[in-house]
């Protein structure tokens, strides 16, 4: 659900929030350089903002989750709650302006969803101990290819994760064409479902 939602958020950000991605830091860093080189300063500034907000979201989630872990009260759904609050804030804002935000509003929405994606990636890594990312796949796919060539072993989780990201982006793009006002609802609902699922599973575990 998280990977599918990440694909949807990235597609929506690219199509509706300025032509940059919300969690693909490599691409956004390159676009920042394009802006610095004078190719497209506006696009470069948006990409730089996305990178900055992603870093802030990742840092906030990592700090909060790490602090909870050190205190012995880590709840694996905590970072998802923060992420879904950010996503739902954007949904509410998007609906309030009838899917037609002004330039500054669009930029603020981009920063908010980029922070949500940073929160998701850092939270998964710290809270769940997962080494499989949910919102960026360059390293994952590179490792899968290297493993296939050197060890003759197919990394199915990496392939499934890649496919889910692509499908999430495709779903958001299709929704953007058919019901553009509803597109941000897709990732918000998916992350909410993931939070409810994780929260329920944590609640059913036996206490030590």
> Which residue carries 């850092």 as its tokens?
122
129-150 confidence digits (pLDDT tens): 656 677 767 777 787 788 889 8
- Report residue 191 as tokens: 């992350």
* 87 vs 204, residue with greater confidence: 87
136: left (phi over 0), alpha (psi -120 to 50) or beta: beta
pLDDT band at 205 (very low <50, low <70, confident <90, very high): low
Instruction: Tell me the mean pLDDT in the region 39-46.
Output: 92
Q: pLDDT value at position 208?
A: 47
Report CA torsion sign: 14, 20, 23, 27.
Answer: positive
Question: Which tokens in the block code for residue 108?
Answer: 């603020």
Rounded to whole angstroms, the Cα distance separating 167 from 203 reads: 31
User: Cα angle at 173 between 172 and 174, to 5 degrees?
Assistant: 90
The angle, 0 to 180 degrees and rounded to 10, between the axes of the packed helices 185-204 and 2-16 is 160
DSSP for residue 180: G
Contact 106, 45 (CB under 8 A): no
Quote the tokens at residue 80: 């998802």
Place of tokens 């969803």: 113
Asked if residue 188 lies in contact with residue 4, where contact means CB atoms within 8 angstroms, the answer is: no
CA–CA separation, 24 and 14 (whole Å): 11
pLDDT by residue (tens digit) across 78-98? Answer: 788 889 999 999 999 999 999
């Amino acid at each position: 659900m998280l990977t599918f939602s990440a694909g949807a958020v990235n597609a929506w950000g690219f199509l509706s929030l300025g032509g940059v991605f919300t969690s693909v830091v490599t691409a956004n860093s390159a676009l920042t350089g394009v802006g610095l080189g004078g190719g497209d300063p506006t696009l470069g500034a948006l990409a730089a903002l996305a990178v900055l907000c992603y870093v802030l979201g990742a840092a906030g989630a990592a700090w909060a989750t790490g602090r909870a872990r050190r205190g012995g009260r880590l709840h694996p759904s905590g970072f998802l709650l923060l992420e879904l609050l950010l996503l739902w804030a954007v949904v509410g804002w998007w609906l309030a302006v009838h899917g037609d935000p002004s330039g500054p509003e669009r930029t603020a929405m981009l920063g908010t969803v980029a922070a949500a994606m940073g929160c998701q990636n850092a939270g998964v890594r710290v809270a769940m101990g997962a080494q499989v990312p949910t919102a960026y796949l360059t390293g994952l796919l590179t490792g899968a290819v290297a493993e296939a060539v050197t060890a003759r072993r197919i990394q199915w989780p990496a392939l499934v994760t890649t496919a889910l990201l692509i499908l999430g982006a495709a779903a958001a793009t299709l929704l953007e064409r058919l019901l553009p006002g509803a597109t941000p609802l897709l990732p918000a609902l998916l992350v909410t479902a993931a939070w409810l699922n994780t929260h329920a599973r944590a609640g059913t575990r036996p206490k030590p």
